[in-house]
Amino acid sequence: MRKIWKTLVISLFLSLLIVQSALAALPFKIQSDSVLLMEAASGEVLVDKDSAKSLPPASVTKMMVMLLVMEAVDTGQIKLTDKVVASPEACRMGGSQIWLEPGEEMTVEDLMKAVGIVSANDASVALAEYIAGSHEEFVKLMNKRGQELSLASTNYVNATGLAPDGNGPGNITSAQDQALLARELLKHPTVLKWTGTWIDSLRGGESFLRNTNNLVRFYDGCDGLKTGYTNEAGYCLVATARRNGVRLIAVVMKAPTSPVRNNEITKLFNYGFSQFKAIKVLSAGQVLGKTKVMKGQVTEVDLIIPEDLLVVLKKDLQATPEVLVKIPPKVRAPLAQGAPVGEVVVMIDGETKVTAPVVTASAVEESGFFRFLWQITKNVFEGCFH
Query: What number is the average pLDDT over the span 311-329?
Result: 91
Q: Is 62 a catalytic residue?
A: yes
pTM of the model: 0.84
- Residue 334 confidence (pLDDT): 94
Is the pLDDT confidence value at 13 over 50? no
Point out the least confidently predicted range of 19-33, 111-125, 131-145, 147-161. Answer: 19-33
| % of the chain surpassing 90 pLDDT | 80
Q: Looking at residue 9, what is its pLDDT? A: 41
Residue 305 backbone dihedrals phi, psi, to 5 degrees: -95, 125
Structure confidence at residue 378 (pLDDT): 59
Catalytic residue among 59, 124, 174, 367: 59
What's the confidence (pLDDT) of residue 25? 61
Q: In the chain, where does the domain assigned CATH 3.40.710.10 lie?
A: 30-278
Region 292-317 average pLDDT: 91
The residue type found at 270 is N
Provide the pLDDT for residue 369.
Answer: 57
Answer whether residue 384 shows pLDDT above 80: no
Fold of 283-384: Peptidoglycan synthesis regulatory factor (PBP3), Domain 2 (2.60.410)
Distances (CA, A) of 105 to 49, 135, 200: 44, 18, 19
Q: Domain 30-278 belongs to what topology?
A: Beta-lactamase (3.40.710)
CB atoms near residue 122 (< 10 Å):
28
Q: Which of 32, 34, 87, 119 is catalytic?
A: 119
Q: What pLDDT, on the 0 to 100 scale, is given for residue 287? A: 95
- Give per-residue pLDDT as tens, 112-141: 999 999 999 999 999 999 999 999 999 999
| Burial status of residue 86 (CB atoms within 10 A of its CB: 0-12, 13-18, 19 or more) | buried
Instruction: Provide the pLDDT confidence category of residue 381 given band limits of 50, 70 and 90.
Output: low
Torsions phi, psi for 57 (to 5 deg): -95, -10
Would you say residue 45 has pLDDT above 90? yes
What does the mean pLDDT of the chain come to? 90
Q: State percent of the chain over pLDDT 70.
A: 89
Sequence-distant (≥ 6) Cβ neighbours of residue 198 within 8 angstroms: 210, 211, 216, 217
**12: confidence class by pLDDT, cuts 50, 70, 90:** very low
- Which phi-psi region, left, alpha or beta, contains residue 361 (left: φ > 0; alpha: ψ -120 to 50)? alpha
More confident residue, 30 or 168: 30
Beta strands per DSSP E along 28-169: 34-39, 45-49, 83-85, 105-107
Is 119 annotated in the active site? yes
The catalytically annotated residue of 49, 62, 254, 295 is 62
pLDDT of residue 42: 87
The question of whether 283 is a catalytic residue gets the answer no
